[in-house]
Amino acid sequence: MIPEQNRLLSRCTQYPPLEYLDFGINRIIEPLPNLTLFSSLKVVRLYVNQFNGAVPEAFGRLTHLEELDLSSNSLKGVISEAHLSKLSKLSRLGLSGNSLIWNITYDWISPFKLNRIGLHSCKLGPRFPKWLQTQKDYSYLSISNAGISDSIPNWLWDISSSCYSMDLSANQIHGTITDSSFKFMGYPYVNLSSNELEGSIPHFMFKVGALDLSMNRFSKLDSLCNVSIDTELTFLDISLNQ
């Protein structure tokens, strides 16, 4: 536990403004602390603990935040626009490994541009989160086990050349993947396993570093014959398809 939390936090305000707070990888078992006293915070890392309860909307008033990592805790409840709409400087968001439900309107426009997006096990669906369309500079995206039951929008492939990992596994993503002239630039790891995708695997999907399409309903692999000799593909899993 954080001893005498309120007194500890109030005493800290007697010193220069706190910008960096890291309690990561401990055994803290309690609700999230009140951090609004530290309006200058830029980095908050509380990952891999046992923080419980809801994420207070007051986190949305930390307008200088550049990184927020609450991943791998026991948090529950709702993430709303009130949590996010004023965080225009946010570039890294980690909420993976909690039981959080995103209550965001479909047409919501995010104020931030994220470099790292970790939302594994957060309930984002059933529709594909449209606000991701504005996030084109991320290097890491994890929205696995997010309750998405939708087809893949074409804009999803419009990603930065710096992207090294994209994980959409363990959803109910269905339909076909439309072939495209899009070319992956950074040869990322792409994981679409454990979904309901079907039809042919398009040629452009093989232009990555590692590709996991296992446990889907794909039925054609003819495009693999057109993969050029200069491919960077080092790992391919298409097991448990049709």
Strands 116-118 and 43-45: unpaired
Q: Quick one: CA dihedral 70, 75, 76, 77, positive or negative? A: negative
Check residue 6 and give its pLDDT.
56
DSSP-assigned letter for residue 12: H
Per-residue pLDDT tens over the stretch 68-113: 999 999 999 999 999 999 999 999 999 999 999 999 999 999 999 9
Per-residue pLDDT tens over the stretch 109-152: 999 999 999 999 999 999 999 999 999 889 999 999 999 999 99
Could you tell me which residue, 122 or 9, shows the higher pLDDT? 122
CATH number at 1-123? 3.80.10.10
Spatial contact of 87 and 57, defined as CB atoms under 8 Å apart:
no
Per-residue pLDDT tens over the stretch 194-211: 999 999 999 888 889 999
Number of neighbours of residue 135 by Cβ within 10 angstroms = 18
Which residues does residue 75 pair with via DSSP β-bridges, in sequence order? Answer: 53
CA distances from 62 to 2, 89, 116, 169, 185 (A): 21, 10, 19, 32, 35
Find how far residue 70's CA is from the centre of its chain. Answer: 12
Q: Quick one: CA dihedral 119, 142, 67, 91, positive or negative? A: negative
The total number of residues shown for the chain amounts to 242
Domain ranges of the chain: 1-123, 127-132+146-157+171-242
Rounded to the nearest 10 degrees, how much is the dihedral formed by the CA atoms of 242, 183, 135, 154? -50
CA Rg, the chain, in Å? 20
How many percent of the chain have pLDDT more than 70?
93
Q: What is the pTM of this model?
A: 0.90
Buried b (16+ CB within 10 A) or exposed e, 30-44: eebbebeebeebbbb
Per-residue pLDDT tens over the stretch 207-237: 899 999 999 999 998 877 777 766 788 999 9
Could you tell me which residue, 202 or 9, shows the higher pLDDT? 202
126 upstream amide cis, omega within 30 of 0: yes
Rounded to the nearest 10 degrees, how much is the dihedral formed by the CA atoms of 82, 88, 93, 99? 10
114-119 — which CB contacts under 8 Å span 24+ positions?
114/90, 114/138, 115/91, 115/139, 115/140, 116/91, 116/92, 116/140, 117/93, 117/141, 117/142, 117/143, 118/69, 118/71, 118/93, 118/94, 118/142, 119/93, 119/95, 119/143, 119/146
Per-residue pLDDT tens over the stretch 24-48: 999 999 999 989 999 999 999 999 9
Check residue 14 and give its pLDDT.
62
pLDDT averaged over every residue in the chain: 91
